[in-house]
Amino acid sequence: MAPVIGIAWYAADSNQADAARDRRQLRLDLIARRLQTHLEPVRAQLTYLSQAIESGEIDFDNPEQWRSFALGALAAAPQAVGYLVYPVEGQPIRFIRADRSTSPEPRESVPQAADIMARARGMSGPAWAEPVWSIVVGEPILPLIVPIRVRGEFRGFIGAAIGTSDLSRFLKELDISGERKPFILVGRESVLAHPHLSEETGRAEQHDRRRLATLDEVNDPVLASMWAPDANPLPTITGEQPISGHWNWVGDRSFAWHYRSVDDYAPARLTIGSITKPAAKPPVRAGSFVAS
């Protein structure tokens, strides 16, 4: 009888571990898919714009044609908060979605314009850049750049500013207080999206900072402790996109962090992840941790 009970216990324990692993995989898959559906439509738009200019469907030297086309494209992709058309010669023009405005942009007001121009010359299609804070739109953006060529001649670049506040609002929908908290990081120390940044207080703090938040600036002491020393590794969840993880103590409670890198938007070094919070306080600061 004992062996039968032992086999049943092992099967139940194994099933519980498999279910927990599947839940963690699903959470990160949901975040990855939301990131993709947020960013890829803008990439498709810029690809079409550059091809339409090269084929002559859009006259690059006709500002009025540009205005109607750019504002229409912004209306179709609300995550793109603005476009910047930066020609090799002539006046750069900025298009803003919020008020449907068009305004000349002084060349000297575009940070690293010369570096972007040099990079664009060697590009054949859209490419991402590092996330930055945008003073113009008042939120962190993920920039996307596409070179412009007319009959093979390089004429400049178009930059799209993709807002990130919608990503934080999506993560807020996944957030379950006391159980799990999702996040998107840039590198190891900056936060691109987090449930706190979808709240009025978080948005105000972000606006006052005028830069991306660090891990200890999103009202989440557990996220702030993500890279604390003496972490305990958790088994890697294998698959098409492996998930790493570790657990550690924050005060007298244990927490697990599961995360994976997203390389599709390089050079932006994005990491998606989720924090698992145990339902009850461990009786002692020792022993193993099983994440749910």
Instruction: For the chain, list the domains and their CATH numbers.
Output: 39-163 (3.30.450.20)
Write down the pTM of the prediction. 0.83
Residue 15 has pLDDT above 60, yes or no: no
Cβ pair 155, 60 in contact under 8 A:
yes
Give the range with max mean pLDDT: 71-85, 94-108, 199-213: 199-213
Comparison of pLDDT for 20 and 271, the residue scoring more: 271
The mean pLDDT of 244-253, rounded to a whole number, is: 91
Residue among 255, 256, 79 nearest 170 (CA): 79
Question: Rounded to 5, what percent of the chain is helix, strand, coil?
Answer: 40, 30, 35
Share of the chain above pLDDT 70, in %: 84
DSSP 212: P
Residue whose pair of structure tokens reads 């070179």 in the numeric block: 147
What SS3 class is residue 209? Answer: helix
Q: What is the pLDDT of residues 32-63, one digit of tens each?
A: 999 999 999 999 999 988 898 898 888 888 87
pLDDT class of 238 with cuts at 50, 70, 90: low
Tokens for 256, please give them. 């697990």
Q: Could you list the beta-strand ranges (E) of the chain.
A: 80-87, 93-96, 101-104, 127-128, 132-134, 139-150, 153-163, 180-186, 190-193, 213-214, 232-233, 244-250, 253-262, 270-276
pLDDT digits (tens, 9 = 90+) for 180-189: 899 999 999 9
Q: What is the pLDDT of residue 39?
A: 93
Query: In the predicted model, what is the mean pLDDT of residues 107-128?
Result: 90
Residue 20: what pLDDT?
Answer: 57
83-122 burial string, b = 16+ CB within 10 Å, else e? bbbbbeeeebbbbbbeeeebeebeeeebeebeebbeebee
pLDDT tens-digit series, residues 131-171: 998 887 888 999 999 999 998 899 999 999 999 999 999 99
Confidence of residue 101 (pLDDT cuts 50, 70, 90): confident
Q: Are 81 and 97 in contact (CB under 8 A)?
A: yes
